Structure 1
């Protein structure tokens, strides 16, 4: 989470409740699927093009509302974090976030939940709120179409649901879909076909967001704009748009962004999703924080030694971790989407979080008996103090179910009761959950399909550096440095760090446990992947009859970690808090090769820094 360096807020950031009364998030009256953006945006597809055209116009309508209107895009986007003021009058009473002091303690200033079991459930009514407001705008716009088209658009307004971008689909290797990049879109409006400004590319801030930094670090200083240090949120003056991977002219650098996305899809996102779908415990997949004190999750797989820490983070076992990686890949250094305090203002935020919600919904369908348990919110929120105990009955503020009641995890568990679903859930409805699981594992299984998968596990002390930053993992490259490109065949993946120091931490040291799938890199480099038969000097592949590679895996020499900030500045592993690297592996089931066998875990080596 980014840090603010000021505790004084501009008066333009103060929210006001509109005359239309409190904002109540209501379920849709009918169930329709949320679609992948590639299908939803198909303007040549008469089934969905009216929905997409209404969606685009509805987004702009929310942009055009005054920024003090609770139903404006500015206000809804600001629920996530900044401007750190009450939304729709929802406060925490005596526990309300205090701008002047709480940010110093590390307390999260937004309403959203990170690093606790409410991460997924909290974002569910958030997307539902945005979806409902867009549908309300769409219904008004549909009535403006000519008589011969009106009925079609009225029905489209009832049916459309917020689309998602599946960043773990193989198609994502091509980068961000063009619909998020092009400056204009051609759509049919009530006044005929016309080109309109693309509201999915960026959002123009109506008021200042965050605070001015030193000379050269503000957009007003272009063309010599410098990316601010990671310690602070980038400042966006009123009238400036959100950006992704900005250059010295404060312009998007989509080539660099897409390069990162392309690399991360195969090295990180697909392997992580593949493993999440095989884990049957909600606590383990719900968020990046977990305990190893015996009261909660002790380990993630066999071959994972139990860490002697109070709070840790699992890199591959949580839906929150690939979520972080996508934020970093799209925003880059200086981009809004990178910084937790301001990323809700980039329009892609809701497409991304709809994808996260889909992943959670798919996991629920596979493992229907596991849901929200009790744990501690280590970051707090606008209405929850640090280290508050939360569970499925905790209010998901500020989302009202009625004038007097808030949504809870227990009431958002069944998405059909909220009026939406996802295509795969429709396809496998009523079937054995294992059928859906097998389908998804085949869809997301990292290629190529090796019999054994190897992982490098990093244990990192959080708080040594102010995030966000990454720890890149290279295989068989002793001289790897920040200058080594991630396009190198030696690059295996990375661990993304969004933690920041907490001077008031009361539960001991916080660690991140990051696992990187190094299998593909080992194969590229000819590192032997078969189990070695110690009684034989010759290792022969039983299928081909040919000698296998003579390379012997050595974690001391073959696993090299390179920590670096997003601006390319490197630090040593010790400075970044890396204190241990381990290597372990699992085999795939011989009957159903899409499943990893839990009890096949083998620990290979440990390197302590």
Structure 2
């Protein structure tokens, strides 16, 4: 058989654009809408280049894509793990050729659309050559534009050069038909859904709740992103959420990624690893995850995938085996017989794209690139942390000039303990009596999210790995200063405040409370210095404050 080789979109390596900028480009947006519709409808769901099959690479229906299996085969029960590497050092790099595959098919469909234009055809064909999959920068703006989350129809310029109203493919994907492999509630929903209120077959997106939840999470997402980019310095700590962070008290890329899935999806498709790939917002999200990989790599030249035992395993990689930068990233072919590996994809130009932050930079000069990207990252996200520094905010008293205490809650928890995605939510002050109000509470200061396959009970490998422990961090500084009225982050003042006012709740994605016996919450305070001339705060040795949570349900095991 002739397989689809992932070589990236054609036309050089133009920019992937942020979705808010992308929708302002009429030709790109018009081509994108029509190309995406072709991916939905041009081919049957059984076709390898259909939207359904590409989405299914991430999870359901757990069948081989383009014949990508291994010999000897992994135990058949392990197919329920899918191809995707989660809780693995390969998490960021596996998704890179995945997004390139989606972009390549989209680009091909865009060429077909451009060929139908009878007005200004040369410029439409030129736009089709440079179009790339847009990204949603959730750290800058946690609420996507209406063209993504609320408009059932959008206006585009058609092949005759006239404006017309068409169905919006970014709003949802309609299954044709619903695949018989889908479990409840997904076997009831004819389209993808975001934060539905119930499991009813007639349920629709809860756009108002989606917007409110994402708005309330903005400062936490931005703070997590800035700290991840600037304070996490090793590949294991950056790449995935398994415990053993190597000394950092900041989140991994995977942990931040998990939060977006749970916040967007709720009990809908994005909140489950098996179905997330069918929601079109998945590709806006993961293209930004890939961008974060590019930004972090530029800030940490020479740091790339390190060897680690694959704890969870995949459809083609048994659990318990070591993986590294030469491990095959199945099912993404780089030839008719071989697969991409992490070692070959550090340079995005090989896959036909770049990001605006790298425009005009000499990529052969890593030190210059590092300095330029550092300044851009500070400009985009630095206010989430730098605005708290006493050098920037003189109202914070009791802290030595140029130093900030970074207070974080570390969460350790068994990923598969309840068999579905869940969240650990942190509050300062009163907690709403109604769990449905948790995610929009003004006292919610952050959360740790686990993104889980709800079909894990059917996965022999998942059962073997029930004791896999994940780790995440919730930065509390902003909440302490905004809600505590302390005007200081000094431990003498903050420790008694947190003992009294810090609370946490474990909830499923439907907001129902859940007991998680493995949960352990420990508080750390890390001194951050901000020397003259330094772009980023520099962390000292983190200090544990066990007494803040010890003795409480889910608190520190140590006194």
TM-score (normalised: structure 2): 0.86
Distance 1:318 1:212, change over 3 A: closer
- Pairing of 1:15-414 with structure 2 (within 5 A): 21-27=2-8, 28-42=10-24, 48-64=25-41, 65-96=43-74, 98=76, 101-102=77-78, 108-146=80-118, 148-169=119-140, 171-172=141-142, 175-180=143-148, 181-191=150-160, 192-209=162-179, 211=181, 234-236=186-188, 240-248=190-198, 249-267=202-220, 269-278=221-230, 279-290=232-243, 292=244, 298-300=246-248, 316-333=250-267, 335-414=268-347
Q: Alignment partner for residue 565 of structure 1, among 505, 508, 526?
A: 508
In structure 2, distance between residues paired with 1:533 and 1:376: 38
> How far did 1:522 drift?
1.0
The structure with the largest helix share of the pair is: 2
Write the distance in 2 (CA, Å) between the matches of 1:454 and 1:265: 18
Question: Partner of 1:226 in structure 2?
Answer: none
SS where residue 423 of structure 2 aligns?
Answer: strand
Assess if the C-alpha contact under 8 Å between 2:252 and 2:472 holds in 1: no
Alignment-derived partner of residue 542 in structure 1: none
Shift of 1:484: 5.7
> For residues 494 and 491 of structure 2, what CA distance do their matches in structure 1 show?
14
CA contact 2:213–2:440 (8 Å) conserved in 1: no
Judged with a 3 Å threshold, the aligned counterparts in structure 2 of structure 1 residues 390 and 201 are, in CA distance, closer, same or farther, namely: same
Q: Please say which of residues 384-393 and 197-206 is displaced more in the overlay.
A: 384-393
**CA RMSD, 1 decimal:** 2.6
Give the Cα–Cα distance (whole angstroms) in 1 for the partners of residues 324 and 344 of structure 2.
12
Query: Once the 2 structures are TM-superposed, how far is the Cα of residue 592 of structure 1 from its aligned partner?
Result: 5.0
> Do residues 584 (structure 1) and 521 (structure 2) align?
no
In the TM superposition, residue 367 of structure 1 has moved relative to its aligned partner by 1.2
- 119-128 or 465-474, larger mean C-alpha shift: 465-474
For residues 265 and 110 of structure 1, the distance between their equivalents in structure 2, rounded to whole angstroms, comes to: 31
Deviation at 1:510, TM superposition (A): 3.0
The C-alpha deviation readout for 1:394-450, integer Å capped at 9, x for no partner, is: 111111111122111111111122221000111544534123113303421216423
Question: How many residue pairs end up in the alignment?
Answer: 517
Q: The residue matched to 2:132 in structure 1 has which SS?
A: coil
**In 2: Cα distance, 1:142 partner to 1:483 partner:** 46
Contact 2:431 2:443 in 1 (8 A): no
Q: Is the 8 A contact 1:287 1:318 kept in 2?
A: yes
Could you report, residue by residue, the CA deviation over 1:13-43 in whole angstroms, capped at 9, with x for unpaired residues? xxxx7xxx3111113351101000111111x
Q: Flag the structure with larger Rg.
A: 1
- For the residue of structure 1 that corresponds to 2:120, the secondary structure is helix
State the 1:317 CA deviation. Answer: 2.9
Distance 1:210 1:374, change over 3 A: farther
Q: Using structure 1 for the length normalisation, give the TM-score.
A: 0.79
**Native 8 Å contact 1:442 1:594 kept in 2:** no
Question: Any conservation in 2 of the 1:474–1:492 contact (CA below 8 Å)?
Answer: yes
**How many Å separate the matches in 1 of 2:238 and 2:419?**
25
Distance 1:22 1:510, change over 3 A: closer
